[in-house]
Amino acid sequence: MNVLLRIKNNKFFKQSSFRKTLLKMMPRNSVCAEVGTWKGEFSKQILEIAKPRKLYLIDPY
């Protein structure tokens, strides 16, 4: 899926770039949750980029 998302200052990002940008903005050592983990690919990015103190992974299926 090649989705473009718009954030501040009318900048456009592909969905994967948008997610990475958001993760870089998150405070280190925070507590995070991801709902809908499926294969855990984004979970890995959360751990590597945001470096949370604790990460809750929730998959309702």
Amino acid identity of residue 39, one-letter, is: K
pTM: 0.72
Question: Is residue 1 classed as helix, strand or coil in its secondary structure?
Answer: coil
pLDDT in the model for residue 22: 87
The domain of 42 spans: 28-61
DSSP state of 53: S
pLDDT exceeds cutoff 60 at 4: no
User: pLDDT of 40-61, one tens digit each?
Assistant: 999 999 999 999 999 999 998 7
Question: CA-to-CA distance for 25 and 49, rounded, in angstroms?
Answer: 10
Classify residue 11: in a domain, yes or no.
no
Question: Is residue 52 classed as helix, strand or coil in its secondary structure?
Answer: coil
pLDDT in the model for residue 56: 96
Classify residue 48: in a domain, yes or no.
yes
User: pLDDT of 5-37, one tens digit each?
Assistant: 555 555 655 667 788 888 998 999 999 999 999
Question: CA-to-CA distance for 36 and 45, rounded, in angstroms?
Answer: 14
Question: CA-to-CA distance for 54 and 32, rounded, in angstroms?
Answer: 6
